[in-house]
Every structure is written in C-alpha cells, then in structure tokens.
Structure 1
Amino acid sequence: MHQFSQVDVFSSDPFLGNPVAVVHDAQGVSDEEMARFARWTNLSETTYLLPPTDPAADYRLRIWTPDRELPFAGHPTLGSAHAWLEAGGVARQDGELVQECAAGLVRIRRGERLAFAAPPLLRSGPVDAGDRERIATALRITDADIVDLAWVDNGPGWVACLLESAEAVLACRPDFGAFGDLEVGIVGPYDDPSSAGADIEVRAFVPSMGIGEDPVTGSLNAGIAQWLAGDRLPASYVASQGTVIGRRGRVHLERGGDTVWVGGDVLTTITGQVGL
C-alpha cells in the first residue's frame, strides 16, 4: 500500500481549483501500473513521488495524464511539493525545494504560497499559417479575432492565442474534435482587474490528453508569462482560469529578470492509502 493524497491547486477554496492525485513512495510501481492508475483517477494529472537520482534534488516526480506521461506540468508540481512537505519531507535548503522530473530540475519557492520557477521553453516563436488556421477553426473564431499567437511549449506542447479581451476568452465555444494533436491556451485581459479579481482570463484546451478543458494550468500560465509578462502584461499579475467550467482558479505570476515564478494556493482534500 502507498500513502495517497489528492490536492487542490490554484484555489484558496477547496474543490474550486485543479486536483492532482499524488502517490507517495512510489518505488517499485511499474510504468504500466502508473499509467493504469492515472487512467482510473481520470484527473488531468496523477503523480508519483520517488527518491531523487540527482544530488541537487529533494525528490523526483513522474507526471501522468490519463493518456501519457509528461516531462513537466505546473499544477502537479505545486500539488506534489505540498504533499511531499505535508508527509514530512525536509528540503535541503531553507525556503526552497528542488524537484527532479523528466524536464530537469525545477525550483519551488516557499513563501506566502508555493511558486515554481518556470522551466525554459522547449519551443517558442511564431506559429505557421497552417497551424494558425487549424487553431482558429478549432476555437470557432476568425483569423481577425487573433491578436497574437505563439508557441509557449515547456513540455506539454502549448501554443497560446491572445484575444482582445477576457470576455472574448469566456465566450469561446471550441470544437474539440478539430484540435487534433494541438494543445491550445487562450488569454485575454480584463478591462477592470480590480472588479474581476484578476488581470487576465485563461483557458486551456487539451483534448489530445483525454481532457476537454483543463481547469487551471500552471505550465500554460508559465509559458504565457514568459511570452507576455513585462510587455503586453504587467511584470506581476493574477490570472483567472476555470470560470466557464465552474472553478475559481487564481494563478499568481511574477517576472524578475529572466525568471518567471508561478504560484498558487494549495489545499489537501483527500488522504488515504492506495494499493497498486
């Protein structure tokens, strides 16, 4: 039996963020067993905590969707760090954890809330005309509705689409069957951030991962901040996500130099044991 936690990430209120299933002390769990349990939980991600193989890391993490393993994902990083600490994990450094995953080493800052340092983008820059047309079709918008478009892939494969406003983001009704293998995030600014409680609205569409719309997405928000923070967005801002599907996610972004920190509130909602 393995200790098990289900953790709600990016919300200060339980059951309004994005849950991640965390299996502790997962030594000896096979790839087949990891994949099977991830399919069964049917959450956007299920993670497995393991001893590190890199001496600079505090723990190692494997991250699975219902469909495949990912090299990196944001809300599982924060949720798993929270679960590791709650289970008695002691970091090598005060105020910071280091997570080892397939994408490399990820720093996690401990402060008012946990925040991870966004990993380098694996792919950035312009989107070709063919993918642009596919994205517009899948989002059921016109090319003129796209303010800008860029690859912001830090592992899952994100391409981000900037729309004119948060209202345009909320109004989008995508055709999930038209995305193919594309994982698309859309973002738009609020006219009155103080009234909205956030500076921007974000949505993430990932039908290729066996999910329609992801509730709240750390990796996508990290990539968006690496693309837009300090330019079209403030260097420090709050993103709202999950509104259309009944969540109230809040992602806190902060850019300092070349580093983007992605933070959020984290709550454990379920604990127990699981036999794999």
Structure 2
Amino acid sequence: MRDFGHWLSEFRPSIANYGYYVDFQKVYGNVESMKVELHILNSLIGSKSIEKDFYQLAERYPEVLKCIPLLLAVRNAEIYCQDEDGGQLYTFKPKDLKKENIDYAKYAYFMKKTGLFDLLENHIISNLIDYATGVETGLDSNGRKNRGGHLMEDLVELHIRKAGFIREESYFKEMYIHQITEKWGLDLSAISNQGRAEKRFDFVVKTKNMVYGIETNFYASGGSKLNETARSYKTLAMESDTIQGFTFVWFTDGKGWVSARNNLEETFDIMEHIYNIHDMEAGIIGKVLK
C-alpha cells in the first residue's frame, strides 16, 4: 500500500526546463524578419524634424510601417485607437502598405499620439534592432503558459521512450476513443457515454495484452479545475475497470494539488495507476505497462 501523504510530499513546485522562460530562437527569427525595415527606421532616431522625416521615409519605403506594431509590443497587424476626435483603425498588413493607399498624415498622427515619435526624436533608444529584440523577448514570455502546458506531456513521453516503447508502433500521441476502437477492436462505450462522448488521451501505449490510455497534467497553482479533474478522472478510472484489455493511467504532479488534496486522495484511493514525476524517474512505466 502506498501512502498518499508521502506521495503528495514528492510533488514539485515546477517542471520548467531551460527553454521554458524565453524561446530565443523564435525571438531572433521574428526580429530577423523585420531587420531591413528596422534598420531603415533607425534613421529617424534623434531626428530634429521627426514628422517631416517620417513622411519622406514612409513615402519612399512604405514597407517600414509593418514594424510599428512591434515597437508597441503588439502582435496584431491592425490596431484601433480613439481619442476626443474619434476612432481610427490602422492597418500594418504588408499587402495594404501600397504608396497610393497610405494616408501618411493618419500614420504620423498615430506615431505622435502613441509616443513613438517622442521615443525616436528624443533619442531615448539608440538602435531599433536591440529595442525590438527586447520587445520580442517580453512578448515571448507570454507564451510560457502554452509551453508549460506541454512540459508534462514531453516529460511523460521521454519516460515512455526510455521504457522501450516506439512512437507510432507501440505508443501513440493524442489518440481518440474511436481510433482506439478502430485499431484494436476494443469496446470503450463505458467511458464514452455509449459512444456519445469523444474522449482523447494524451498517449496510448499498446502492449501484448493491454491498451493503456494515459492522461498527463501538472498544476503549479491551485484552483477549482483541480477538483473537477480529480473527480472526472476518478470516474474515468472506475469506468475503465469494467473494460477488459484496457487500463487508464494518470501521471500528475505540481504543488497546486496541495489545495485540492482531498479530492486527489479520493482518486488515489481507488485508482491503481496514478503516478507522479518521482514515480516515473524510478522507472514505473517499464514496471507496470506490460
């Protein structure tokens, strides 16, 4: 018998890897894609007649306007702004930046009101390449949530491979119930509400005598979602126990579970195959997935 308290004490505050915080290759790539235009805009830094110089520059090189959203740390190619004089939609899409279509006074107004003219004119920055790299680094940090969502999956997959399973041969990623049924002929109606619900498992491992449906997650902080997850996986585990040839496995971790320990303990008590990262590192996959 495993002790729940001891098992929970092994949970970790984070599983961030070295690439979690900033994807610098993506940052450098995004800046590189605008490098020429940013170099051209550099000529406005320290200008004593910024509006006139902007007109001349934008008229000669209208493509430089596509850089402007990045200077404001905005991903969208369209920006809406309004003031006491009304609202305007500004487009920075390359296909729209044709000389004959551009209202230069409108874009100059945008540059002035957003503070970009002041940034350039007063030489607050010295190089737009460096500035854009800093902005991209900040924007990329917003992608941590998406990267974090895949860290546990990546970690579990690493240990599945370490246990000797081969992708697309003995283990499969993101597999739906109907795909499992079609591939191995298993009747999974007990966990699909008689075919009315389409469940997708993060991984499916196939051994000689068993199909394992695997779910993975990591919670660094608490919230109501954890209680819902624990309850739904408890139900899934109980339903799976009625299916011959199929086993549900759950890999979870994270200090967020401390705030939802009661619901997790209920699932732990009835679920044979629930494991944490420490279990994986101890080789549990190779021991139980047979």
Range class of TM-score, shorter chain = under 0.3
Which structure is higher in strand share? 1
Which structure is higher in helix share? 2
Q: TM-score, normalised by structure 1?
A: 0.27
